[in-house]
Structure 1
Amino acid sequence: MLRNFLLATAAATALSACAATGDQPAKSASAAAIDKNPYPSTYRPYPGTPTALVGATVFDGAGGRIDNGTVLFEGGKVTGVGGPDLAIPAGFTRIDGTGKYVTPGVIDIHSHLGDYPSPGIQALSDGNEATSPTTPEVWAEHSVWPQDPGFSRALANGGVTSLQILPGSANLAGGRSAILKNVPARTVQGMKFPQAPYGFKMACGENPKRVYGSKGRMPSTRMGNIAVDRQMWLDAKAYDGKKRDLAKETLKGVLDGEILVQNHCYRADEMAIVMDMAKEMGYKVTAFHHAVESYKIADLLKENGVCSAIWADWFGFKMESYDGIPENAAFLQNAGACVIVHSDDENGIQRLNQEAAKAQAAGRRAGIAITDAEVIRWITLNPARAMGIDTWTGSLAAGKMADVVLWNGNPLSVYSRPEKVWIDGALMYDADDPKRRPVSDFELGQPGEGDVK
């Protein structure tokens, strides 16, 4: 129960503040005076114990595999990853993983949990500020409902330890994202990943032109989409910061490389146009989301260092998604481009491991063999990289956050599920212990309370 989890963590220590990640462009005095983090994370790791997972098959998230492996973590950090000869310090709780598998925590780069929570009713529909085609000023975290039961289901059924909450795709510029640790908390600040940079949701294609064209407003065409985008960026480049403008502050953050662009886009031709627009305006697209036609421009995506966040086999539900193929991920991988499997769905987030396995199988049928260890990267290190948090999580390596999943079998099997999930070294879910199954306050007292579905 959330209340028990909260009481248990009264003495938990804080994570360090965001570290510098490189040289940044010089800012004006007025810009420097702006508090760029007015809603700081208050996340505190839950208490954990020194733990040794031994005898399992370890997929480290970076493409490595260790049979009969050992993973050590203490103080919220991974302290060792190796084979059976890795020494286990005194005082560590030893967990036998024989016949089981260990991976980093699963990461979903595209979620709307909290902004479109369960129950899915209009009163809780808070993901699209569909009042203007560009709304860079809105922040997804200001809509996140921490009591969404979807968070605990993603943890228990999918092993999800971190996730990015994005605004919807009604707008060309939908606003800032929020990157969360998947822990029970009373406030969204209590879930915010402390070191994570903000993301910026953009969209191209059918959604913006349909939403605003139906209102008799621009854009109503794809050329209108690009025209509105270009003017938005030109206005942002001219912004001097003398008078605060929340929308332009976000756009300047993108132009300065501080905020990462997450771009909803299905068609290959549109992705190519957006990459050209990004070069014209001086920003970079970090990832195209949904991207069902990425396989057509895999070489361009690799050349531009842009990831594709995709489904395994969900396509054909509207015209711009018509030409998707199940081999999309495999063709991208074969070309050396960055592949991410995402959900965009409160149910899909519980089965990202199975979605990755489906994409792997489609590649195998096409003659492209991708190892299990490499496929695990699609739901761990690659999304972490595209979210700007790979320094701290996404793979099992000494010094990284101990976000760890023990699976009862190969995670790429439909028969496997998480047995235990740790976040920053704290055991947050245990299939064998009903007390280690977080339940939203919203569900307390409801019929079936305590069940993980």
Structure 2
Amino acid sequence: MFADKKMRAGTGALATIVSALALIAGATAADARDKDKKRDKEAETAAPAFTAKRESDGVFSSTYKPYPGVATALVGATVFDGRGGKIENGVVFFSGGKIVAVGGPDTQVPADIAVFDGTGKFVTPGIIDIHSHLGDYPSPGVDAHSDGNEATSPTTPEVWAEHSVWPQDPGFSRALANGGITALQILPGSANLMGGRSVTLKNVPARTTQGMKFPGAPYGLKMACGENPKRVYGSRGRMPSTRMGNLAVNRQTWLAAIDYANNKEAKRDLAKETLVGVLKGEILVHNHCYRADEMAIVMDMAKEMGYKVSTFHHAVESYKIGDLLRENDVCSAVWADWYGFKMESYDGILENAAFLQREGACVVIHSDDQNDIQRLNQEARKAQKAGQRMGIEISDATAIQWITYNPAKAMGIHEMTGSLEPGKMADVVLWNGDPLSVYSRPEKVWIDGALMFDANDPKRRPVSDFELGQPGEGDVK
């Protein structure tokens, strides 16, 4: 019993000591926590946490500023307004970079402005190319300049075409002088199912891509279906290697983007940010696709995932589903006569654009080529004539719409440009003859009311830094 008492007494003393130590430890821990809080607060005050900016903060925003211009009137010309209208002996008056008035010979213009006699000539809105790779595949076409395909993964929506654009590409000034191109969309290539973001540019000389970037134009997402992605990745033993693989990878990628959009705690992901922009309707989908069946499947996938296709590009079989394209309000950006160069383009026909027009679907003539961009007017004429030979009447004014207002609509810039309407940007071309003729060329080109090209004034032709000093280039007297 004594031993038990002694043990209990020892235990009591030990408990007292342990309790005391616990109190000391607790106090020490509390002090440490207080010190940690104080240190954290001081750190927050002294050095705020680093955060990356987002698009809403003006990341890579346009720095474009219109070149100086003067109030100008073009009188006596035949005017195509870009919306299917035609005015004989018309007047186009612009000032402050905007269209002020468009009308017949009675249209009033101020007396103290620049007036150009357009008798026997034609006026159109600036020509717009919805599908270009200028700057990403610039001239000269060497491997060192090949910056349009990030062919390292089947889906690369995180890349932006503007981060490859070389503003010194001589193709820009050629497109202006020979084709009357005032705006163009630069797209990534078609090696991938999702190739990245496109960018819309004003066709003006600038030191930086941001200096050319069309203010207020929405981004596009370049997608591709069919042979290209399955060939590129199937040859590497990777998925996709079939058309069903193409769709499976696309669908899984969209599902991951939807999960990301619904997860407020998700770590920032550049690829998924682009796809969420599409789901929100802020980024427009431009889909490289040839076959009619695949276009129909892509439209079904878009409905499944909750986005909309703006335009199918190349689309040589659009004529087979004109009604579906019209019902889904999807444009077709097509060539006049390119077909048959691979299996999925085999069933292309010259009347593609004409059949689409007959169905009431949106038609756009595009280039996808550094040379064709210089003659979209001629490509529109070829497509028009192919339809007329089939008995499908297409007016000249409608053919002009294929290369002005319709591409602007498909690119989301039709409220700002693409037609000669009061309040819109003064992007205007004066042609020395019928703009749909192979013999006609731009005589003068204005962008936001600034005269950027004048065939009668060699000094008015923009010359890139790259061309300066080259034999036969840049040596204008």
TM norm structure 2: 0.87
1:135 paired with 2:159, answer no
Tell me, what secondary structure is at the counterpart of 1:394? coil
What does the per-residue CA deviation read over 1:228-268, in whole Å, with 9 as the maximum and x for residues that have no partner? Answer: 00000000000046311000000000000000000000000
1:92 is matched with 113
Of structures 1 and 2, the larger Rg is shown by 2
Structure 1 counterpart of 2:341, one-letter code:
F
Of residues 276, 279, 283, the one that matches 1:252 is 276
1:155 is matched with 176
1:378 is matched with 402
2:357 is matched with 333
Of residues 239, 243, 267, the one that matches 1:218 is 239
2:316 is matched with 292
1:347 is matched with 371
CA distance in 2, matches of 1:33, 1:379: 34
The answer to whether the 8 A contact 2:468-2:475 is kept is: no
CA distance in 1, matches of 2:376, 2:361: 20
Q: How far 1:90 sits from its partner (Å)?
A: 2.6
Structure 1 counterpart of 2:242, one-letter code:
T
Change (3 A) 1:95 1:34: closer
2:14 is matched with none
Structure 1 counterpart of 2:329, one-letter code:
G
2:131 is matched with 110
Structure 2 counterpart of 1:372, one-letter code:
D
Structure 1 counterpart of 2:269, one-letter code:
D
2:101 is matched with 80
CA distance in 1, matches of 2:342, 2:177: 32
Structure 1 counterpart of 2:455, one-letter code:
A
CA distance in 2, matches of 1:48, 1:130: 43
What does the per-residue CA deviation read over 1:315-370, in whole Å, with 9 as the maximum and x for residues that have no partner? Answer: 00000000000000000000000000000000000000000000000000000010
The answer to whether the 8 A contact 1:103-1:404 is kept is: yes
Structure 2 counterpart of 1:345, one-letter code:
D
1:262 is matched with 286
**Runs of 5+ consecutive residues of structure 1 not aligned to the other structure:** 1-29
Q: Choose between structure 1 and 2: higher helix proportion.
A: 2
2:9 is matched with none
2:451 is matched with 427
What does the per-residue CA deviation read over 1:164-215, in whole Å, with 9 as the maximum and x for residues that have no partner? Answer: 0000000000000010000000000000001100000000000000000000
TM norm structure 1: 0.92
Over the aligned positions, Cα root-mean-square deviation in angstroms equals: 1.4
Structure 1 counterpart of 2:266, one-letter code:
K
1:413 is matched with 437
CA distance in 1, matches of 2:411, 2:55: 24
Change (3 A) 1:300 1:288: same
**Runs of 5+ consecutive residues of structure 2 not aligned to the other structure:** 1-50
The answer to whether the 8 A contact 2:53-2:59 is kept is: no
The sequence identity of aligned pairs, in percent, is 79
The answer to whether the 8 A contact 1:31-1:241 is kept is: no
1:195 paired with 2:216, answer yes
The answer to whether the 8 A contact 1:106-1:159 is kept is: yes
1:448 paired with 2:475, answer no
Tell me, what secondary structure is at the counterpart of 1:332? helix
The answer to whether the 8 A contact 2:183-2:200 is kept is: yes
- Higher RCO, 1 vs 2 (CA within 8 Å, ≥6 residues apart): 1
Q: How far 1:62 sits from its partner (Å)?
A: 0.4
